[in-house]
Chain A
Amino acid sequence: MVELLQTLWQRPNFVVFVILFLWGFYIMAAHPNFVKKLIGLYIVQTSAIFFLVAFSAKEDAAVPIIVSEGLVDAAAYANPLPHVLTVTAIVVQVATLGVSLALVSSIYRKYRSLDEDEVMEQLE
């Protein structure tokens, strides 16, 4: 138990990731308002991106752009691949947000309410 707490203490980034993920999932599941569910989904996606960034962090790493000719020491530069994955995931987030807000506005136009319970009652 003590070792578990010690490993958790030494990795604060990953603890934050777990907290964000679970909190976002709770928001998605528990709140009846559609827009709040969307915010929960956004937090879950952001926590996954945060995980990507967290494990690719490197101390004293240079920006991965080569300005001089000749041999370079790869270990001194930050790994650019997770950066690419992060940017792509952010783009996917934005697209998801667009589609979901369009759906929410279509729901609002028809049912005049953003509350899931009210809308489900109207559907019966």
Chain B
Amino acid sequence: MSSQLPMLLFLVPFFTGVAMPMLAAKRPSLCQPLTIGAVMVMVVLAIINLRVVLTSGPIEYAIGGWAAPLGIAWLDDTIAAIVVLTVSAVALLSLIYGRVVVPSRLERSISYHTLILLLIGGLVGLIFAADLFNVFVFLEVAALTGYALVGAQGGKASVFAFRYLLLGSFGATLYLLGVAHLYAVTGTLNMADLATRLPQIVTSTAVAGGLIYMFLGLSIKMALVPLHSWLPDAYENAPEAIAPLLASTVTK
């Protein structure tokens, strides 16, 4: 069981989010307890995961049975376990805070809670990913749900969510361009593999260009100073229940 923990940590929020329309369609007041329950289960699993990783070393989870470097692998090491625990705990706290401040229209909205759970699931995938392209996919999952959540209240928030979407997607495209450059030079996307190969070739223009594109793309998403203009508007107009979750997890 303990070797399946990374996938379990991802599946709990993801499956609950995807199944939420089925589970809560008849009784919309179930949405919030379901979300908070799923994140509580995640916190417990994250604590167990941290204990397992600290005692018996990193868990390398090969998806589909194909081991790295041919297949996509998830690496569950100490840092990843700590970050997953942090993200789950922060998500739980901001959801509990959300119970107090969420407007009643959103409280019973199935899509709102589904988006929150998909966001958390995407973040967990991002933490465990050990492959550059896997990072891109989960980055986009988390980002797209973030754009939709920022614009959830409608009206003024939608305009700034749209601007956030434009800049965030542009950043993700730059990141993809960087990954493509690195793949073109080294032929591998596995982070561990790249770490051994990059130091020798880092002076070539293609590799330098790739790294710069990745850095630019990620700094747009992280709102690093020259590229931060979307941040104040988006967070000022986001629903108050979402702003803490987004600020602490997605942007960082």
Measuring CB to CB, which residues of chain A are less than 8 angstroms from any residue of chain B? Answer: 25, 28, 34, 37-38, 41, 44-45, 48, 51-52, 55, 81-82, 85, 88-89, 92, 95-96, 99-100, 102-104, 106-107, 109-111, 119-120, 123
Residue from the list B159, B169, B176 in contact with A119, Cβ < 8 A? B159
In whole angstroms, how far apart are the Cα atoms of A99 and B183 in the complex? 29
Segment of B17-25, B49-57, B58-66, B143-151 in the binding face: B143-151
Residue from the list B136, B162, B172 in contact with A107, Cβ < 8 A? B162
A110-B154, A110-B155 are contacts. A44–B170 as well, Cβ < 8 Å? yes
- Is B133 positioned at the interface, with any CB of A under 8 Å from its CB? yes
Nearest-Cβ distance from residue B217 to partner chain A, whole angstroms: 10
Q: Is the CB of A107 within 8 A of B158?
A: yes
Q: Is the CB of B173 within 8 A of A44?
A: yes
The bracket for how many chain B residues form the interface is 20 to 34
Residue of A nearest to B165 (CB): A100
In whole angstroms, how far apart are the Cα atoms of A100 and B146 in the complex? 12
In whole angstroms, how far apart are the Cα atoms of A102 and B150 in the complex? 13
Q: Is the CB of A41 within 8 A of B158?
A: no
Number of A-B contacts (CB under 8 A): 77
Q: Is the CB of A88 within 8 A of B137?
A: yes
- In the A-B complex, the 3 residue pairs with the closest CB atoms: A106-B158, A55-B184, A107-B158
Q: Is the CB of B169 within 8 A of A96?
A: yes
Residues of A within 8 A of B176 (CB): 48, 52, 89
Q: 17 other contacts beyond A28-B170, A45-B169, A107-B159, with CB at 8 A cut-off?
A: A28-B166, A45-B173, A48-B173, A52-B180, A55-B184, A81-B183, A81-B189, A85-B133, A88-B133, A89-B176, A92-B137, A100-B147, A102-B148, A103-B165, A106-B154, A110-B158, A120-B159
Q: Is the CB of A95 within 8 A of B140?
A: yes
Residues of B within 8 A of A96 (CB): 140, 144, 165, 169
Residues of A within 8 A of B165 (CB): 96, 99-100, 103
- Is B228 positioned at the interface, with any CB of A under 8 Å from its CB? no
B175-201 near A? 1/0 per residue, CB < 8 Å:
011011001100001000000000000
- Is B46 positioned at the interface, with any CB of A under 8 Å from its CB? no
B contact face: mostly helix, strand, loop, or mixed: helix
A contact face: mostly helix, strand, loop, or mixed: helix
Residue of A nearest to B184 (CB): A55
Residue from the list A37, A45, A103 in contact with B161, Cβ < 8 A? A103
Nearest-Cβ distance from residue A31 to partner chain B, whole angstroms: 12
In whole angstroms, how far apart are the Cα atoms of A92 and B184 in the complex? 21
Measuring CB to CB, which residues of chain B are less than 8 angstroms from any residue of chain A? Answer: 133, 136-137, 140, 144, 147-148, 151, 154-156, 158-159, 161-162, 165-166, 169-170, 172-173, 176-177, 179-180, 183-184, 189
Residue of B nearest to A45 (CB): B173
Residues of B within 8 A of A82 (CB): 183
Residue of A nearest to B162 (CB): A103
Residues of A within 8 A of B161 (CB): 103
In whole angstroms, how far apart are the Cα atoms of A119 and B151 in the complex? 15
A44-B173, A88-B137, A103-B151 are contacts. A55–B144 as well, Cβ < 8 Å? no
Nearest-Cβ distance from residue A75 to partner chain B, whole angstroms: 13
Q: Is the CB of A25 within 8 A of B170?
A: yes
Residues of A within 8 A of B170 (CB): 25, 28, 41, 44
In whole angstroms, how far apart are the Cα atoms of A102 and B137 in the complex? 21
Residue of B nearest to A53 (CB): B180
